């Protein structure tokens, strides 16, 4: 994992905006819109990346100040090796992954907040436009999701060790107060899906829109800015598993952790307080990652939740997947 020290930092896209937009909503027929990129770039001096905007478009987060407690984030996207899961996740899947990590069965790991994601991927001291720097160079990163995660080391930051985030697929994260403060300061306000506001809260104080998709992808034609961590969108509030097999998205989860002093203490004192428990949690996490590599997230979530609950869990009963023993059903 990569550690980000507690402190106050600047994160977000620094001016000038590098994206030249091709608006597909103004086309009578959307056919090869990438052919409009040279004209868009020429019409917007100083831009360097073509963004073919769909009928939905989401914000590029501009530079703003954030304050964080110390935290850690996985250097590579989940599950850290092998191809990206072919089915991605939905808002419902994100809630189940959040539930899985919140059990504590896998140590102090948890889903990242958006601000944590953006800060770590851009670099707390570099605030790069992209995970690998400030100049767009998509050729450094995977062009296909079945390429092994981590197999292109140039698709990452030499300064931090973070790689591939916001450059291949997007990641699910938690909404947080520092993002909503930025979003609600914009002239457009802070709209979320379904006419909601991003800062709306439940009676318990939690955000109604709890889960967001952070970071762009390798595609130019997309609803949020490509190749950068400084962008996000949401899919509304959590719904149940009905229809889940038809709701797959090409996104994965972002995994963070709260620092735990046992990682420094236990190697020298394996029988010390909490050390055997931590060892079991680390073995459980390693086992889950090993199972999830090369599999669908539906299988991965079912396996993890089944192991934690001690009984079969099928996160997507409508799935066409046939789950084997211990995988859910």
pLDDT digits 0-9 by tens, 59-105: 999 999 999 999 999 999 999 999 999 888 999 999 999 999 999 99
The number of distinct structural domains making up the chain is 1
Indicate whether 274 belongs to any domain: no
Q: Are 101 and 162 within 8 A, CB to CB?
A: no
The CA-atom distances, in angstroms, between 285 and each of 144, 150, 173 are 26, 19, 19
Closest CA to 220 of 8, 9, 41, 26: 41
Q: Is 277 a domain residue? A: no
CATH number at residue 220: 3.90.1580
Count CB neighbours of 277 within 10 A.
Answer: 13
324 within a domain of the structure (yes/no): no
Residue 278 forms part of a structural domain = no
The answer as to whether 303 is a domain residue is no
Instruction: Tell me the mean pLDDT in the region 17-30.
Output: 88
pLDDT at residue 327 in the model: 55
Which pLDDT value is given to residue 78? 97
pTM, entire model: 0.94
96 domain-assigned: yes
Q: Is residue 180 part of a domain?
A: yes
Please report where in the chains the tokens 């002093």 appear, as a residue: 261
Domain that holds residue 55: 2-259
What is the DSSP annotation of 86-151? TT---HHHHHHHHHHHHTSTTTTEEEPBHHHHHHHHH-TTT--SBTTBSS--GGGS-SSTTSPTTS
């Amino acid at each position: 994992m990569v550690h980000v020290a507690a402190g106050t930092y600047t994160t977000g896209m620094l001016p000038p905006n590098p994206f030249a937009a091709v608006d597909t909503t103004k086309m009578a027929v959307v056919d090869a819109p990438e052919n409009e990129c040279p004209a868009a770039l020429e019409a917007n001096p100083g831009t360097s990346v073509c963004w073919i905007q769909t009928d939905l478009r989401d914000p590029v987060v501009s530079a703003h100040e954030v304050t964080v407690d110390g935290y850690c984030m996985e250097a590579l996207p989940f599950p850290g090796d092998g191809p990206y899961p072919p089915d991605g996740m939905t808002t419902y899947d994100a809630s189940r992954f959040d539930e899985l990590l919140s059990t504590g069965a896998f140590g102090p790991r948890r889903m990242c907040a958006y601000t944590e994601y953006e800060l770590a991927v851009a670099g707390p001291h570099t605030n790069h436009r992209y995970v690998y720097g400030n100049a767009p160079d998509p050729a450094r990163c995977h062009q296909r999701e079945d390429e092994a995660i981590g197999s292109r080391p140039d698709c990452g930051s030499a300064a931090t060790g973070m790689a591939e985030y916001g450059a291949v697929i997007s990641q699910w994260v938690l909404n947080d107060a520092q993002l909503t403060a930025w979003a609600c300061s914009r002239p457009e306000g802070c709209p979320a899906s379904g006419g909601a506001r991003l800062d709306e809260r439940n009676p318990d104080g939690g955000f109604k829109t709890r889960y967001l998709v952070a970071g762009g992808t390798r595609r130019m034609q997309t609803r949020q800015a490509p190749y950068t961590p400084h962008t996000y969108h949401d899919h509304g509030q959590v719904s149940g598993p009905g229809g889940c097999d038809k709701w797959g998205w090409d996104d994965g989860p972002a995994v963070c952790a709260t620092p735990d002093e046992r990682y420094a203490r236990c190697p020298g004192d394996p029988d010390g307080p909490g050390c055997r428990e931590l060892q079991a949690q680390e073995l459980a996490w390693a086992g889950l990652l090993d199972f999830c590599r090369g599999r669908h997230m539906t299988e991965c979530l079912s396996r993890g939740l089944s192991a934690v609950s001690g009984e079969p869990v099928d996160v997507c009963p409508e799935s066409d997947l046939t789950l084997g023993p211990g995988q859910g059903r």
